Structure 1
Amino acid sequence: MQLDQDITTITEGKTKILVPKAAIESKVPPMDVAFFNPRAKLSRDFSIIAYSAFIKKFHGPKTFLDSMSGVGARGLRVANEIKEIEHVYVNDLNPTALELGKKSAEINNLQNYTASEEETCRFLSSFSRKGMRAAIVDIDPFGSPTRHLDCGIRATVHGGILSVTATDLQVLHGLFNDACRKKYYGTPIKTHYADEIAIRLILGCIHLIAARLDVEATPVFVENNMHYYRVYVRILNKSDTRDMMGFISHCRSCGNREIGKERKELCDICSGTMIAAGPLWIGSLFEKEFLKDMLEDIPNHTVDKKCAKTIQRCILESEMPGCYYTLDELAEMRKKSPASLEKSITILQKNGYASSPTSFNPTGFRTDCKINKILELFSSQIPYPRQM
């Protein structure tokens, strides 16, 4: 391997990482070199904050498993930037990627970094025995993570965190419903809040698999970007007696949406026919105290400024109803230019409704106000834009 010609060193967070130049220079990370996705830096920043906030309050062996590591960027950062972590185990099937990770570990003077070349589930299964399980398990595949969820859950210690990425956006957005039903046990619908439906389908799948293993899996943090979804769930080795699966029913006629255990056939507002997404997770997406711990821990790390703003939005929406609205969606309905997010939320709050921004969409908000009343309030209190 010609390190001087083919490889470059970048700094992400506080960590130096050796990566192929082609991965930096190409718009899409090439598959014929050791994998590294520079666009996933924000995701790795969130991971550092989440893992650091979690591990500070965790009592037990503080180990981290990265089952599909590529050049090891996430694992290297965890080993180097979270001092409470005792050991990091990374795994990949690409020997070049593993070698780069080892050399990066040497550059950062890491003594707590071990690499292995195994099939993903074989690697995770080697940590599934009592006394071997990890505090944090990371599954970050190309496409769907579903084939690895059983192994990932088994490798996570009681009270630990399992973090899962999905990049098969076309499946989760309703272009291939049969594939989605097979992989995630539910189907999506195309809406302005499709990102939330996708996240809930992933969580629903994890919840069902965990329940089959007599394990409880509860989300503490979720995040999304243009090319991936990522969820963080707390694993408890106890039978899950909760009924957290249901449907999102959506009315194409008036835009009404409802989340509940049963799918609705007719809209309560306009009596139109409703279509349903699911079965999917209908519980909370965030654990508020965990988010507060994340926000408090940010000054200890070198991360993107977007992280704090996003987590602040997560805190605000953590106890809000499901299924957000977007300003563009409402503008289309009203046939007017979108109002500002701040003004829209203020109108709802002044009229006695709960409302907050959402981390899922920069122009999105959550509220307990129904769509017909939202439109009524906005029509009466947001004037037409002046004509030039």
Structure 2
Amino acid sequence: MQIPDELFEEIVEGTTKLLVPIKSITDKVPPKEPAFFNPKAKLNRDLSIIAYASFLKKFEGPKIFLEGLSGLGSRGLRVANELQVDNVIINDLNPTALKLAEHSAKINNLENVKFSEKEVCRFFSNYSKKGERGSIVDIDPFGSPAPFFDCGIRATMHGGILSTTATDLQVLNGLFQNACKRKYGGIPIRVEYGNEIAIRLVLGCLRMVTGRLGVEMKPLFVESDMHYYRTFVRILNRPDQEENLGYILHCKNCSNRKTALENVKNCDLCGSENKIAGPLWIGKIFEKEFVQEMLNQIPNFSVEKNCEKIITKCLTESDMPATYHTLDEIASSLKTSPPKLEGIISNLKEMGFLASPTVFCPTGFRTNANIKQIIEIFSN
């Protein structure tokens, strides 16, 4: 394929050269043709590189990266160029995207990259046998990743990492509840912390599929952005014995919220009716040791400065309870102006409660105090 200079441009992301369509950079919405590339997803790819480096630091098996929906291969090529991996296999149904990926591989002098043009589940099925699976498997579709969970899990080796992106935010945030139930097996509710519920629905769906396949998945790291949700989970070839699927109960009257294994109709504090989200993942969403290693890896890579701030917040909240509150939410109920985040966190800690900021919202905080206790502290 000839590469017309007027249609394509060479850029550098991380330390990797990428040939991309010029309109992907100049247009407000990157076009899907001739190949899709989203420059605004650089932070997503930066965090992926850091997460994969953290995983590889302690992984002793064959280091094989499988990318099912690669576009022009920006993530896979960065993995091949910036990480110590044995093989990278990039797959996409768009032949033009693959040609661009091949060209980018050549200008980076990469010899550990192979290319595949198959439907994504046919691609993953080629690597679903023991000894042929990937140690890192990536699924980054337009819309929902749920149709690819089964084949992606089967293509992930024992102890490997599966990362997925969801961009069907309206479905996961409660605008189309029936669609969410069909795709993810659970129902969201419209609340201030809807992005966390969305990620827990994705994790809950992954847990349902791994449970059916007789394997275990353990969340390592998650990411929430205006345009996507991304999850990183470890796949282990053993049945999951923990009770980690349940519900988030949110009181319509007082906004008290909690996680529970069972669907509970009424609020513990005021007796009013609960909104109920789920079934979804109610366990931890950050593995503290893994997130700490991500922080340690940052100096080794050329990534956005914001990565350190994001990962530091994730580490701070890694042991905190599920769901968060926002300053505006509490201030609105008291009809007062919101205080500073640092002040409320400090006051909660002084009263003996756990408290931390959250990466999910700049004015959000996590705590084990209930809503009545929070409002009392706000009022003082």
Band the TM-score falls in, shorter-chain normalisation:
over 0.9
Measure how far apart 1:340 and its partner are. Answer: 1.3
Unaligned segments of structure 1, at least 5 residues: 381-388
* Corresponding residue for residue 41 of structure 1: 42
Amino acid at match of 2:143: G
Unaligned segments of structure 2, at least 5 residues: none
Amino acid at match of 1:250: H
* Corresponding residue for residue 316 of structure 1: 316
* Corresponding residue for residue 360 of structure 1: 360
Amino acid at match of 2:296: E
**Is residue 2:45 matched to residue 1:71?**
no
Percent identity between the aligned chains?
Answer: 56
Deviations 1:365-388 (A, max 9, x none): 1000011111111111xxxxxxxx
Amino acid at match of 1:295: L
Which moved further from structure 2: 227-236 or 22-31? Answer: 22-31
Secondary structure at 1:127 match in 2: coil
| Partner Cα separation in structure 2 for residue 29 and residue 215 of structure 1 | 38
Measure how far apart 1:31 and its partner are. Answer: 2.1
Secondary structure at 2:6 match in 1: helix
| Partner Cα separation in structure 2 for residue 338 and residue 195 of structure 1 | 21
**Is residue 2:306 matched to residue 1:302?**
no
* Corresponding residue for residue 261 of structure 1: 261
User: What is the count of residue pairs matched by the alignment?
Assistant: 379
| Partner Cα separation in structure 1 for residue 51 and residue 32 of structure 2 | 29
Deviations 1:104-155 (A, max 9, x none): 1111111111111100000111000111001000000000001111000000
Amino acid at match of 2:6: Q
Secondary structure at 2:266 match in 1: coil
Question: RMSD of aligned C-alpha atoms?
Answer: 0.9
- Aligned pairs for 1:365-380 within 5 A: 365-380=365-380
* Corresponding residue for residue 136 of structure 2: 136
The runs of at least 4 aligned residues of structure 1 exceeding 6 Å deviation read: none
Measure how far apart 1:322 and its partner are. Answer: 0.5
Measure how far apart 1:2 and its partner are. Answer: 4.2
- Aligned pairs for 1:285-300 within 5 A: 285-300=285-300
| Partner Cα separation in structure 1 for residue 143 and residue 94 of structure 2 | 17
Amino acid at match of 2:76: G
- Aligned pairs for 1:1-388 within 5 A: 1-82=2-83, 84-380=84-380
Deviations 1:347-373 (A, max 9, x none): 100111000111111111100001111
| Partner Cα separation in structure 2 for residue 61 and residue 222 of structure 1 | 24
Secondary structure at 1:189 match in 2: coil
Amino acid at match of 1:49: I
Secondary structure at 2:5 match in 1: helix
| Partner Cα separation in structure 1 for residue 330 and residue 90 of structure 2 | 46
Deviations 1:174-194 (A, max 9, x none): 111111111100000000000
Measure how far apart 1:3 and its partner are. Answer: 2.6
Secondary structure at 2:165 match in 1: strand
| Partner Cα separation in structure 2 for residue 112 and residue 36 of structure 1 | 22
Which moved further from structure 2: 189-198 or 254-263? Answer: 254-263
Measure how far apart 1:263 and its partner are. Answer: 2.0
Amino acid at match of 2:241: T
Amino acid at match of 1:192: E
Amino acid at match of 1:149: F
Measure how far apart 1:32 and its partner are. Answer: 2.5
Deviations 1:196-216 (A, max 9, x none): 100000000000101111110
Amino acid at match of 1:252: K
Secondary structure at 1:4 match in 2: coil
Secondary structure at 2:246 match in 1: strand
Amino acid at match of 1:352: G
**TM-score, normalization by structure 1:** 0.96
* Corresponding residue for residue 386 of structure 1: none
Measure how far apart 1:33 and its partner are. Answer: 2.3
| Partner Cα separation in structure 2 for residue 360 and residue 28 of structure 1 | 25
